[in-house]
Amino acid sequence: MHPRVLEVTERLIARSRATRQAYLALIRGAATDGPMRGKLQCANFAHGVAGCGSEDKHSLRMMNSANIAIVSSYNDMLSAHQPYEVFPEQIKNALREIGSVGQFAGGTPAMCDGVTQGEPGMELSLPSREVIAMSTAVALSHNMFDGALMLGICDKIVPGLMMGSLRFGHLPTIFVPGGPMVSGISNKEKADVRQKYAEGKATREELLESEMKSYHSPGTCTFYGTANTNQLLMEVMGLHLPGASFVNPNTPLREALTREAAHQVTRLTKQNGNFMPIGEIVDEKALVNSIVALHATGGSTNHTLHMPAIAMAAGIQLTWQDMADLSEVVPTLSHVYPNGKADINHFQAAGGMSFLIRELLEAGLLHEDVNTVLGHGLSQYTKEPFLDNGKLVWREGPTESLDENILRPVARAFSAEGGLRVMEGNLGRGVMKVSAVALENQIVEAPAMVFQDQQDLADAFKAGLLEKDFVAVMRFQGPRSNGMPELHKMTPFLGVLQDRGFKVALVTDGRMSGASGKIPAAIHVSPEAYVGGALARVQEGDIIRVDGVKGTLELKVDAAEFAAREPAKGLLGNNIGSGRELFGFMRLAFSSAEQGASAFTSALETLN
């Protein structure tokens, strides 16, 4: 094992010892010999099975069959989640084949960040992760279940399902992906048309045509944003079946994988002898493995929030320093948009998960001795699934990359270190995804231009006020201020200015999309302006140096003068409309970005 990976893992275990022990005591106490439903009073049990058909009702009364909770985030708003419409029936039929039962335990909400990007609804996006976690808990709290299947893919949904299911960590749980849509026009081509439109060189009709050729059918969007990063991390943590992440929806192989997930989760129940609950899979080694994979693929910056929040739900205290220390030694092995031109289907075709996991295992960068939904050992995940005359089987994946422009062996990595940098200095601590920023653009020192919001910047661009070097400061976009929205609508404008040769950078306490690239952006800056962070005292014209190579974020203003400044007021007026007023209580409870920007942190830190 790489010494740094061992060092970070041991540090994480030591730091988390008390909360992890409390968590394990909780889930081991919740686990029961024999089916959970056997512990219910008759009335509770009768209510729980009343809605079942006679076959399932009979099976449930027989205490030797497994009852599996289906928790689904299906809706028609996310192209990625639309395929889930038919999964519950497929799962129930698969379970009946083996004398078990699937009950649709509950649904969770799911927001499409692509639909809400740049709209007021985006301010509910991060809060929706907490709602998804709570909805998962409501579903599982019926306590009728011996295992669970989680149906979720996109941005806040998988993190929310993870946080909720980890609080029922005594249950064997498998995450069931839906897969990416087949490739449309390339993400680079899409982004180029957006920049042309921003410059007035493309019509709205041409823009719409391009967008609809990119996002054209059911399935996950094909860029390597938060949704596809979710899939990759779930697989590396051993919570998917091997190779399940990026098989396209509505295909025979996808359906076979869903059916097998239903069979596999029953094998992990107490009744069937290979008991493996999710709380015993998601441990310090699994979390370190997820961060290693995040770095090796230039994954979404949103996971610098989601992984600490998920970790805490399992009693583990993961920090940005852990991530930064791992990033220094983990090579970048894949280039998928926004870190390159390829999309996730090309990644899959070039060798996909089995190649990536084998390379990282052989380099001693992943812990092999971990629990998974297939039992002990991550080396089972160097295999890929295929149908052999209709039968689902696994074979060793390719030992060579089929396209080294997309996926490389460690020996020929794109870079010797990961794509994520922790940024720190007198403006606070943030992160930057450097893997998506050309080296010549990673350092910017220029006067600050302070913007209220994205529209403010767009208006300044259209008025021709931005034709210069500058550092855009967008503040009061943090979790407690307005729910920490993604600020991805600025990307085309800043991209045009960068292409025109201006040195531009962004500093914000808000988020960017996992699909954001090109622009050096120090994001998630903590403490946020709303709670008195330094960003609140930045003024127009202040010189700021954003150094993505060294990981520094410096305001070049006399310290005494800066401290004496009156902080700016926040954007309080925008916390109403689009339901934002319903989340005010939650915003007050949010922890800092470094702690995962979660409403549950304080409870989990003490109660775990």
- Tell me the binding residues: 154, 221
> Residue 180 CB, nearest distance to ligand 6PG (Å)?
12
User: Residues 82, 226, 290, 601: which binds ligand 6PG (CB under 6 A)?
Assistant: 226
- Cα(218)–Cα(230) distance, rounded to whole angstroms? 18
- Decide if 294 contacts 229 (C-beta within 8 A): yes
Question: Shortest distance, CB of residue 190 to ligand 6PG, whole angstroms?
Answer: 7
Q: How far is the CB of 220 from ligand SF4 (least distance, A)?
A: 5
Among the residue ranges 69-77, 470-478, 510-518, 583-591, the one whose residues contact ligand 6PG (CB under 6 A) = 510-518
Per residue in 396-434, is it b (16+ CB within 10 Å) or e — as a string? ebeeebeeeebbbbbeebbeebbbbbbbbbebbbbbbbb
> Does residue number 113 form part of the binding site for ligand SF4 (CB under 6 A)?
yes
| Residue 82 engages ligand 6PG in binding (rule: CB under 6 A) | no
Q: Are strands 391-396 and 543-547 parallel, antiparallel or unpaired?
A: unpaired
What are the phi and psi torsion angles at 449 (to 5°)? -120, 120
Site for ligand SF4 in 133-172 (CB under 6 A): 154-155
What is the total residue count of the chain?
A: 608
Count of CA atoms in the C-beta half-sphere (13 A) of 318: 30
The separation between CA 59 and the C-alpha centre of its own chain, rounded to angstroms, equals 37
Nearer Cβ to ligand 6PG (113/509) = 113
* Cα maximum dimension of the chain: 76
Which residue is listed with tokens 């992440």?
A: 245
Using the rule CB under 6 A, is 225 a contact of ligand SF4? Answer: yes
Instruction: Report the alpha-carbon distance of residue 391 to residue 266 in Å, rounded.
Output: 19
Radius of gyration of the chain (CA): 24
Residue 305 touches which member of ligand SF4, ligand 6PG, none, C-beta under 5-8 Å by kind: none
Query: Which residues contact residue 193 at a Cβ distance below 8 angstroms, ignoring those fewer than 6 apart?
Result: 202, 206, 207, 210, 211
Task: Tell me whether residue 35 or residue 225 sits nearer to ligand 6PG (CB atom).
Answer: 225
Listed ranges 58-66, 76-84, 253-261, 587-595: which one lies at the site for ligand SF4 (CB under 6 A):
76-84
Minimal CB distance to ligand 6PG: which residue? 225
Site map 147..166 versus ligand 6PG, x via CB under 6 A? --------x-----------
Of 78-86, 165-173, 274-282, 402-410: span binding ligand SF4 (CB under 6 A): 78-86
Instruction: Pick one of ligand SF4, ligand 6PG, none as the site partner of residue 8 (Cβ within 5 to 8 A by kind).
Output: none
Site map (CB under 6 A) of ligand 6PG, residues 295-334, x = contact: -----x-x--------------------------------
Tell me how far apart the alpha carbons of residues 201 and 207 are, in angstroms, rounded to a whole number.
Answer: 10
Q: Select from 124, 135, 123, 125 the least CA-distant residue to 161.
A: 135
Tokens for 307?
Answer: 């992984």
Considering only residues 36, 49, 112, 124, which one is a binding residue for ligand SF4 as defined by CB under 6 A? Answer: 112
- Of these partners, ligand 6PG, ligand SF4, none, which one is at the site of residue 514 (CB under 5 to 8 Å by kind)? ligand 6PG
Is-contact 34 335, C-beta < 8 A? no
Which span sits near ligand SF4 by CB under 6 A: 73-81, 364-372, 528-536, 600-608? 73-81
- Decide which of ligand SF4, ligand 6PG, none touches 220; Cβ closer than 5 to 8 Å per partner kind: ligand SF4
Q: In angstroms, rounded to a whole number, what is the distance separating the alpha carbons of residues 599 and 592? A: 10
Map residues 238-257 to x or -, x wherever contact with ligand 6PG holds by CB under 6 A.
--------------------
Cβ-based neighbour number of residue 502 at 10 Å: 16
Which one, 225 or 425, has the nearer CB to ligand SF4? Answer: 225
Q: Which residues are annotated as a binding site for [4Fe-4S] cluster?
A: 154, 221
Does residue 515 interact with ligand 6PG by CB under 6 A? yes
Give the shortest CB-256-to-ligand 6PG separation in angstroms.
27
513 counts as binding ligand 6PG under rule CB under 6 A: yes
Q: How many CB atoms lie within 10 A of CB 369?
A: 10
Q: Nearest Cα to 125, choosing from 339, 319, 348, 306?
A: 306
Cβ neighbors of 212 (< 8 A, separation 6 or more) are none
Contact between 83 and ligand SF4 by CB under 6 A: the answer reads no
Per CB under 6 A, 495 contacts ligand 6PG: no
Amino acid at 239: L
152, 225, 249, 430: which one binds ligand 6PG (CB under 6 A): 225
Distance CA 331, CA 147 (A): 36
Instruction: Give the one residue of 5, 78, 91, 373 binding ligand SF4; rule: CB under 6 A.
Output: 78
- Which three-class secondary structure state does DSSP give residue 29? helix
Region of residue 425 (left: phi > 0; alpha: psi -120 to 50; beta: else):
left
| CB closer to ligand SF4 out of 152 and 551 | 152
Shortest Å, Cβ 530 to ligand 6PG: 22
Residue 100: which of 142, 137, 136, 149 has the closest Cα?
149
Residues in contact with ligand 6PG by the rule CB under 6 A = 113-114, 117, 155, 225-227, 300, 302, 486, 488, 513-515
Residues in contact with ligand SF4 by the rule CB under 6 A = 78-80, 112-114, 154-155, 220-221, 225, 227
